[in-house]
Amino acid sequence: MAFFTPLFAHMEAKRSAASTSSTAHLPARYLPCARPSDKLKPIFISEMTLETHHLGRKILLRLCTKACRLTALLVVAEDERETPILVQMYHQPEENVIPSQQLLKKGMVLLLKEPYFKQTADGAYVLRVDHVSDVIWLHGDDERIPLAWMPRIIELDSAGSRLEGNNHFNKKEWGSALQQYTQAIECSETATDAQISYINRSLVNLRLGRPAAAFNDAVAMNSRLQPTEKGLFREAICLYQLRKFDECLSKLQKLRALYPSNKDVQFEIAKTIARLRECNDGIYEWKDMQQQSKNEDRLVDCATFSKNVEIRQSPGKGRGLFTTKPVVAGELLLCEKAFSYSFTDTDGGTKEHQNILLLDSHAMKALIGGQILNLTRIIQKLYHEPETAASFLEMHHGNYAVLSQGLQVDFKPVVDTYAHTSFVFI
């Protein structure tokens, strides 16, 4: 382990130097693991071959140090034989979303599928993780965790964990809040305790930009308990974020009938009706949208209108955009929300990326700064919001053969970093 101390000091020095430019190279393209973890055979670090992607194998690792964020998240881990190795994890949540110290904590255990063992330009030996779906985090009493690595048995209290989660939430420490609410759910003794913790975790998932996970949390206890006012309101907000505006309006109207004194409901109803006018009729408040674009976050809250056009095959020309009805000059054809975005001059997380260059020697192309940040956001969105993948994967991506849509393994979507890099390059 002593070797990694000066290495980490060197990396921290590089990270703290704002003017330092870093270059990351995409290795030769390889697919994410599409096999369940129980179908893979164990391997240890001492058995690995350098510059090899170990197909059909898996390795259990325990984190031994704090993490460092440079072009990737870097952390020292050990296998079951106590052999240390540097783990290099790409496209993890941004620092301003979940700081590395909350995301990767000493003692955490992970299962890495089909590990890629290589040497960095600095001469260090690493396990490089390009595909976020190749990592499975193991928690609590998961039977896959070796006995020697099992956490100390502590008397866990749901209310106490929830209170800790509240403290982290108030500090906007989303990663730690998520962990505490999850722990509160796991050790809850009553259905009511679980319901409160699920609703709290739902809000954290919304803050993390994961509305599908937030909705699942909001409705998790509905089959056992009567939904609360807060729970119903959370469901409606999730449906709004998922752009299911008809369902959202129905939920809000039900909420208004049950709780007429809730002033927030009327505000959300007005917003939802505006979104329905936009997506159904193409009626937008352009001046209001222009004003929103001048706000600090520059985000415009609107719906997609696409009824007047459709994508069809054009003989000999590939796919094209066609009108669905006769149109006149000045008529709105299309107004579409961006799938992902980044502002290179304002995003807090972008400061970590502004001086980073990502090279793909296979495609002979490069990404820089905010483009890399946007790629990470796309990958995270596809991983946590798999229902959005269809619209993204239908876009032109050259000759790259993408995995089948909706592929899930070990209860998680399989996300191919290289496919999405191809989309961004194009």
- DSSP per-residue codes, 139-171: -TT-TTS-GGGPPP-----HHHHHHHHHHHHHT
186 and 174 within one domain: yes
Identify whether residues 230 and 252 lie together within a single domain: no
Can you give the CATH number for the domain in which 205 is found? 1.25.40.10
Does 289 score more than 90 pLDDT?
yes
Is residue 374 one of the residues assigned to a domain?
Answer: yes
What is the tens place of the pLDDT at every residue in 159-174? Answer: 899 999 999 999 999 9
pLDDT at position 14 is: 52
Same domain, 144 and 164: no
Average pLDDT, the chain: 87
User: Measured between alpha carbons, how far is 320 from 312 in angstroms, rounded to an integer?
Assistant: 6
Is position 321 within any domain?
yes
Q: Which domain holds residue 385?
A: 356-424
**Residue 353 scores a pLDDT above 60:** no
pLDDT for the residue 393: 77
Angle at 105 (CA atoms; ends 168, 21), nearest 5 degrees: 100
347 within some domain: no
In a shared domain, residues 238 and 291 = no
Query: 131 and 46 share a domain?
Result: yes
Q: Distance between CA atoms of 247 and 266, rounded to whole angstroms?
A: 16
Q: Which of 253-262, 350-359, 374-383 is the least confident region?
A: 350-359
Does residue 251 form part of some domain?
yes
Question: 408 and 393 in one domain?
Answer: yes
Residue 32 in this model has a pLDDT that exceeds 90: yes
Q: Confirm if 108 and 62 have CB atoms less than 8 A apart.
A: yes
What is the predicted pLDDT for the residue at 297? 76
* Residues whose CB is less than 8 angstroms from the CB of residue 256 and which lie 6 or more positions away in sequence, other chains included: 262, 265, 266, 269
> Which of 177-191, 310-324, 325-339, 402-416 has the least mean pLDDT?
402-416
The four Cα atoms 37, 41, 45, 46 give a dihedral, to 10 degrees, of 180
Of 336, 367, 383, the position where a domain reaches its end is: 336
Helix (H, G, I), strand (E, B) or coil at 64: coil
User: How sure is the predictor about 284, in pLDDT bands with cuts at 50, 70 and 90?
Assistant: very high
CA distance 123 to 143: 36
Claim to verify: residue 9 and residue 91 sit in the same structural domain: yes
Tell me: do 227 and 250 sit in the same domain: no
Q: Strand pairing of 84-89 and 125-129?
A: parallel
Same domain, yes or no: 26 and 137: yes
User: What is the average pLDDT across 199-221?
Assistant: 96
Of 28-37, 124-133, 360-369, the one with minimum mean pLDDT is 360-369
Distance from the Cα of residue 171 to its chain's centroid: 21
Cα maximum dimension of the chain = 72
In a domain, 132, yes or no: yes
Residue 308 has pLDDT above 70, yes or no: yes
pLDDT reported for residue 6: 55
Residue 358: the pLDDT is 75
Quick check: 348 pLDDT over 50?
A: no
Mean pLDDT of 133-140: 92
Residue 1 pLDDT grade (very low, low, confident, very high; cuts 50, 70, 90): low
Query: Looking at the 3D structure of the chain, how many domains does it have?
Result: 4
115 and 236 assigned to the same domain: no
Q: Are residues 10 and 130 in the same domain?
A: yes
Q: Which pLDDT score is estimated for 172?
A: 95
Residue 190 covered by a domain: yes
Domain final residue, candidates 192, 219, 243: 243
Whether pLDDT at 345 is above 70: no
Cβ atoms of 420 and 389 closer than 8 Å: no
CATH, residue 54: 2.40.50.140
Of the residues 121, 149, 177, the one at which a domain ends: 149
CA 79 to each of CA 68, 145, 162: distance values in angstroms, whole numbers, following the listed order = 20, 11, 32
Are both 196 and 137 inside the same structural domain? no
What's the pLDDT at 363?
66
Domain assignment present for 177: yes
Structure tokens at 364: 């002979």
Q: Is residue 355 a contact partner of residue 70, using CB atoms and an 8 Å limit?
A: no
Which tokens hold the place of 302? 């609107």
Q: What is the per-residue pLDDT across 385-417, written as a single tens digit (0 to 9) for each?
A: 888 887 787 777 667 777 777 789 998 999 998
The answer to the question of residue 344 being in a domain is no
Q: How many Å from the N-terminal Cα to the C-terminal Cα in the chain? A: 42
Kindly tell me if the per-residue pLDDT of 372 is higher than 70.
yes
CA distance linking residue 360 with residue 367, whole number of Å? 8
